[in-house]
Amino acid sequence: MNTRSVAVTALGSYLPPRIMTNDELATIVDTSDQWIFSHTGIKSRHIADGQTASAMAIKATENLLERYPINPKTIDGVIIATATADYPGFPSTANIVSQHFGTTGGAFDLGAGCAGFIYALEVARSMILSGSLKNALVIGSETLSSIIDWTDRNTCVLFGDGAAALFLETSEKPGLHPALLKSEAAMAESLTVDPKRKVITMDGRGVYNFAVRAIGEIIVDLAQKHELSLADLDWIVPHQANQRIIAATSKRYEIPEEKFYMNIKNVANTSAASIPLALAQMAEEGLLHDGQNIMLVGFGAGLTYGGSVITWQQS
């Protein structure tokens, strides 16, 4: 019986040094620190200030390589989940990262909004198990500050920039389980990038209602798919969009709020980078232990949503 699986064996992250507080935002638009924090759970966010998605992806990968004994020449695939790629076409952000480190395998970008990292993980897992890749570097990298309307207080308070990278390779122990991926195209216009103005537009109430339902459904359905009870889950790591969304999901689906790991307070919504950034911070805080079941849940533009379960392996 083939028990081969795919495990996460290394993590790295990068947050640009420029920090924008709520008080600074209040000098740009009609808002306040108290309003932003009470409605979102956000206190500050990092701003790229001209750094590209590929530049931050390189920084996150450098952080990973500093912490783990991986030769970049042995990296067989680079997949970057991003909604803010350097260029609309070739070269892809992943190509730039691959060229920088001299990796030898395939490299491509994947766009699925804020759920993009879940999709990228599943693509990498499937390609490794099929033999298309020996291993893969999966990165979430976003420069959302470049597509924000800084005069729109309903959206500009929500987003930040950052990048994080995970290294995936085969293992004989349980690791990354098959994902559950979904979309609801009929609601796509409720969260999108305006094609003319090139800025994020959002129906806040519509997205909120969708997110609460989507997160709850994914948690319940994914746990059932893998024959896990809520008690079997050590952590749920959601896309870091809004503290109120998580609180409402917790209440509606009777999931203890303490199971959700949140770092939105000082990072804000970093789209496809939010889940790997949270995982990297959890590793730094010593919260990840061998054998833990960790559920990742993402949702965003498209509207796309999905989830994965990782049985953590201590590296």
Task: Indicate which residues carry an active-site annotation.
Answer: 114, 239, 269
The CA distance from 12 to 111, in Å, is: 21
Q: How far apart are CA 158 and CA 156, in angstroms?
A: 6
| Cross-strand pairs, 11 | 166
Residues contacting residue 31 through CB under 8 Å, at least 6 positions apart: 22, 25, 153, 157
Dihedral, 205, 209, 212, 217 alpha carbons, nearest 10:
-150
The tokens describing 309, both together, are 């379960």
Of the candidates 275, 273, 280, the one whose C-alpha atom is nearest the C-alpha of residue 260 is 275
Tokens matching residue 79: 């997949």
Neighbour-count burial of 191, counting CB atoms closer than 10 A to its CB (0-12 exposed, 13-18 middle, 19+ buried): buried
Q: Are strands 106-110 and 77-81 parallel, antiparallel or unpaired?
A: parallel
